[in-house]
Amino acid sequence: MRIIRMRFSVLFLLLLFLTACETITDDPVFDEVPAIYFEGVSQDTIVQFTEQLIVSIRYEDGDGNLGTSDPDINSIFVQDSRLENPDEYYLPPLAPEDAQISITGTYNLKLSPTFLLGNGSQEIMDLEIYMVDRAGNQSNKINTGQIIVKKE
- Domains of the chain by residue range: 28-150
Topology given in CATH for the domain delimited by 28-150: Immunoglobulin-like (2.60.40)
The pTM (predicted TM-score) of the whole model is 0.80
Q: Per-residue pLDDT tens for 91-142?
A: 999 999 988 899 999 999 999 999 999 999 999 999 999 999 999 999 999 9
Close Cβ partners of 129 (under 8 Å, ≥ 6 residues apart): 36, 38, 55, 57, 76, 77, 78, 79, 109, 141, 142, 143, 144
> Phi/psi at 117 (nearest 5 deg)?
-95, -25
Diameter of the chain measured on Cα atoms: 86
